[in-house]
Amino acid sequence: MLIVSQYFWPEAFRINEMARDLVGRGHEVMVLCGTPNYPGGHAFDGYGWFRRTRETWGGVRIVRVPVVARGQGSPWRLVANYLSYALMASLLGPLRCREKFDVILVFQPSPVTIGIAAVVMKIVRRAPILFWIQDLWPESLIAVGAIRARWLLWPIDLLVRGLYRASALVLIQSRAFRNHVESRGVRGDRIRFFPNPAEIFYVPLPMEAAHPALARVPSGFRVMFAGNIGAAQDLPTILSAAQLTQDRRDVQWVIVGDGSMRAWAQTEIERRQLGYTVHMLGKFGVEEMPRLFAGADALLVTLRRDPILALTIPTKIQSYLASGKPIIGALDGEGAAVVLEAGAGVCSPSEDPQALAAQVIGLCDLDPASRRQMGLRGRDYFVTHFASDRLLAQLEQWCAEVAPATAKGAS
């Protein structure tokens, strides 16, 4: 399998563990990715355009191509970042990835231009594409305010249609994506629901195993937000809700992660004098997250109010469910539906600080046994719907469907 992904280890993306798990299941996996620079905006230590272009991690063979680092996320820098990967992976991919591949898996968060290199590899290596959609383009660009020139939407939409049409199967991380994909001319029988799994190390841990970094947080009811701190995650609602609960000194808000809104959030915490109740702990390796979750009483997921964002299932929800902690959601649509269907927590509408504050206070005042039952229900739901082994077995079946001769030979 060739995985085409602009992002890969040591950048923290769900595709990392998935690739390593596929190797563990007996498959040969190569990844065509870019120079790691997400989310900090500069190349990771030890990496560069001509440094560590080939390496192996967990049995996965990694081929890297030069990309323009995303910098501080200015629009033009992001465009350069996106297009540089599409160009360099298209030019260098056929030269550096000379093996015969049975299937090509595209991991497509933003940007959709990742798929251009996959189509080139499909033509050169004659391998079918499974296109795994994480973000809807061009709609997600509009949702986060990344694009205002409406004339750009038409060529992007044409590109999306072409990439979907070139794929043997289109995999969607949320069932609500189906209408979008069908509207781009993809037949229903070529669309498969393939949600994100969570890494196997996300398991319930006792409070005693909590990460040492939480010693900086006062005792009390700890509500933890973890992950990307960006425009879509709606930090203003979190901070406004924290203002509404500031009289409850037993409620502590903990923010873990990094992203384009981190500096803004730190400035706002100081301006609003919330330093005693909102704590930004910074970025940690993904393997450290279970211990951070262990020290939380509830885990928080938020999204801006937007029809497109309401279609997605934030990947942190799977990690939260796997960790067996109650979930507090401030979001609409599919993400909220999963939390409520699992019975794993409570949800309020997007961009409603008053409702979020009320949910936090209500969960804080709920008896610990009831909160523990929420977490257990969430864990059970995760095992049934999002466990990695089950999802990878399904992926193997689809790979065999589009490349039957290879599947028979492997078996």
252-273 pLDDT, tens per residue? 999 999 988 999 999 999 999 9
Looking at every residue in the chain, the average pLDDT score rounds to 92
> Residue 54 falls within a domain, yes or no?
yes
Please report, for residues 26, 33, 39, 300, the alpha-carbon distance to residue 235 in angstroms, rounded to integers and kept in the order given.
42, 30, 17, 11
In this structure, of 50-54, 92-96, 143-147, 375-379, the range with the lowest mean pLDDT score is: 143-147
Tell me: do 391 and 260 sit in the same domain. Answer: no
Residues 179, 229 within the same domain: no
In a domain, 29, yes or no: yes
Same domain, 36 and 91: yes
- Closest-CA residue to 133 (of 180, 87, 166): 180
Per the CB < 8 A criterion, the answer to whether 213 and 184 are in contact is no
* More confidently predicted of 145 and 193: 193
How far apart, in whole angstroms, are the C-alpha atoms of residue 108 and residue 8? 12
pLDDT score at 243: 97
Give the whole-number percent of the chain exceeding pLDDT 70: 95
Query: For residue 10, which phi and psi values (nearest 5 degrees)?
Result: -85, 5
- Tokens for 264? 């803004």
**Quick one: pLDDT at residue 150?**
65
- Say whether both 141 and 256 belong to one domain: no
Beta bridge partners of 106: 4, 131
Mean pLDDT of 343-349: 97
**Does residue 193 sit within a domain?**
yes
User: Could you tell me if residue 337 is inside a domain?
Assistant: yes
Do 247 and 193 share a domain, yes or no?
no
What's the domain count of the chain? 2
Q: Are residues 230 and 161 in the same domain?
A: no
Q: Rounded CA gap, 407 and 248, in Å? A: 59
Q: Looking at this protein, which amino acid is placed at residue 345?
A: G
CB 114 within 8 A of CB 4: yes
DSSP designation for 284: -
Does residue 256 lie in a domain region?
yes
Average pLDDT over residues 223-244: 95
Same domain, 277 and 182: no
Q: Could you read off the pLDDT of 233-243 as tens digits, one per residue?
A: 999 999 999 99
In the structure encoding, which two tokens stand for residue 178, read together? 């189906």
Q: What is residue 373's three-state secondary structure?
A: helix
pLDDT at position 142 is 64
Residue 268 C-alpha from the chain's centroid: 26
* 99-109 as b/e: b if 16+ CB within 10 A: eebbbbbbbbb
Domain that holds residue 261: 207-385
Spatial neighbors of 340 by CB under 8 A, at least 6 apart, are 347
| pLDDT at 129 (0 to 100) | 97
For residue range 62-99, what is the model confidence (pLDDT) as tens digits?
Answer: 999 999 998 877 778 888 999 999 999 999 999 999 99
Q: Which DSSP letter does residue 12 get? A: -
Smallest CA-to-CA distance from 245 within 263, 210, 217, 220 is with 220
202 belongs to a structural domain: no
Average pLDDT over residues 352-363: 98
Helix, strand, coil percentages (3-state) for the chain, rounded to 5, are 45, 15, 35
The answer to whether residue 409 scores a pLDDT higher than 70 is no
**What pLDDT digit, counting tens, does each position of 200-211 carry?**
899 999 999 999
Of 18, 20, 16, nearest to 36 (Cα)? 16
Distance CA(327)–CA(320), nearest Å, equals 7
Omega prior to 212 cis, within 30 of 0: no
β-pair partners for 328: 300, 346
Q: Name the band, by pLDDT with cuts 50, 70 and 90, for residue 406.
A: very low
Is residue 381 domain-shared with residue 235, that is, in the same domain?
yes
Question: What is the DSSP code (8-state) at residue 375?
Answer: H
Amino acid at 88: M
pLDDT at 245: 97
pLDDT at position 144 over 80: no
Mean pLDDT of 262-290: 95
Q: Say yes or no: 9 and 133 in one domain.
A: yes
What local confidence, expressed as pLDDT, does residue 95 receive? 96
Residue 261, in any domain of the structure: yes
CATH number, domain of 57, equals: 3.40.50.2000
CA distance 109 to 93: 20
The reported pTM is 0.84
pLDDT at position 408 is 46
Task: Looking at the structure, tell me whether residues 223 and 180 fall in a common domain.
Answer: no
| % residues pLDDT > 90 (the chain) | 83
**Are residues 240 and 355 in contact, defined by beta-carbon separation less than 8 angstroms?**
no
List Cα–Cα distances, 73 to 39, 212, 236, in angstroms.
9, 31, 19
Q: Residue 58 carries which side chain, given as an amino acid letter?
A: G
* Higher pLDDT, residue 407 or 334: 334
- Residues 231 and 287 occupy one common structural domain: yes
Q: Are residues 178 and 265 in the same domain?
A: no
The answer to the question of residue 79 being in a domain is yes
Judged by DSSP in three states, 140 sits in helix
